[in-house]
Structure 1
């Protein structure tokens, strides 16, 4: 028995194999992107700009007797680790004693819904350490972290941080 094949059969078979290979490559490329860059977004997206504004506005007000240091105040999005996060830093010089600064931020942060990590008795040591006093709360529905710490005898920094993917940043 002789079977006749259509001359188009080879063309359709070749086209099906090509489409299948291209689909497989597209799926592989998409998977590799998610593996290496994640799906949490990047600093170039509009969500990052919005989150920077939310995080920047979440910092408690500085006490009387402090002066902002403009060149050391910034809001930025960083994605060098593959897990983008936003940080709003405000630096100040002050003419008040460290104990007053600690009391101000402890009380103000708590009134604004920030939950302290540690106790009030530990706060002065945290303020003087390189890590600062640490608080956390949700800002616009996503976890954020507040750090307040000394940068020298008459300087301190207030930082609010938040991950773009909504994950928690620890102290």
Structure 2
């Protein structure tokens, strides 16, 4: 007896192979993206909002004689680099003399449990640098940074930062 084959068998087999290849390539592309760029939407993961609230609440009180710059103050989760992180920034205007600011933020930060990176003697130079004075502390078991520095003439930036995955960050 001669077997009879359906004329559609080749078409169905070709379609199955094509769909399998496309699915495999899609899976490979998605895996490579996650490997090199991290997971998109990590800021939307459960617990991210609570973590952002803790980061925002950890900033020390503003120095006397400063005024907040509303349009340059806020908190956000950033996942544009592949390593998502939280930041809460506050910019304040001040009268121009930075020494009272340096003293206030150094004393307030250390009283709140922040550990300085560098010495008090280095603080004025670090305050004027790009990275500012830097302090470290754990927030709910996760490492965080506090940066305080000049944001331009007559402005001070106070920023609390923490990596979403709980890894430590550099000053």
Provide TM-score, normalisation by structure 2: 0.80
Aligned to 2:170: 170
Tell me, in whole angstroms, the C-alpha distance in 2 between the residues paired with 1:44 and 1:89. Answer: 20
Gaps of at least 5 residues in structure 1 are: 1-13
Provide TM-score, normalisation by structure 1: 0.80
**Which region of structure 1 is more displaced relative to structure 2, 70-79 or 41-50?**
41-50
Aligned to 1:9: none
**Which region of structure 1 is more displaced relative to structure 2, 128-137 or 43-52?**
43-52
**Which region of structure 1 is more displaced relative to structure 2, 147-156 or 121-130?**
147-156
Matched positions, count = 165
Gaps of at least 5 residues in structure 2 are: 1-12
Within 5 A, what are the aligned runs for 1:116-155? 116-155=116-155
CA RMSD of aligned residues (A): 3.1
Structure 1 stretches (4+) deviating beyond 3 angstroms?
24-34, 36-41
Residues 39 and 82, structure 2, Cα contact 8 Å, conserved in 1: no
Residues 114 and 137, structure 2, Cα contact 8 Å, conserved in 1: yes
Q: Secondary structure at the match of 1:150?
A: strand
Q: CA deviation at 1:51?
A: 1.4
Q: CA deviation at 1:30?
A: 6.9
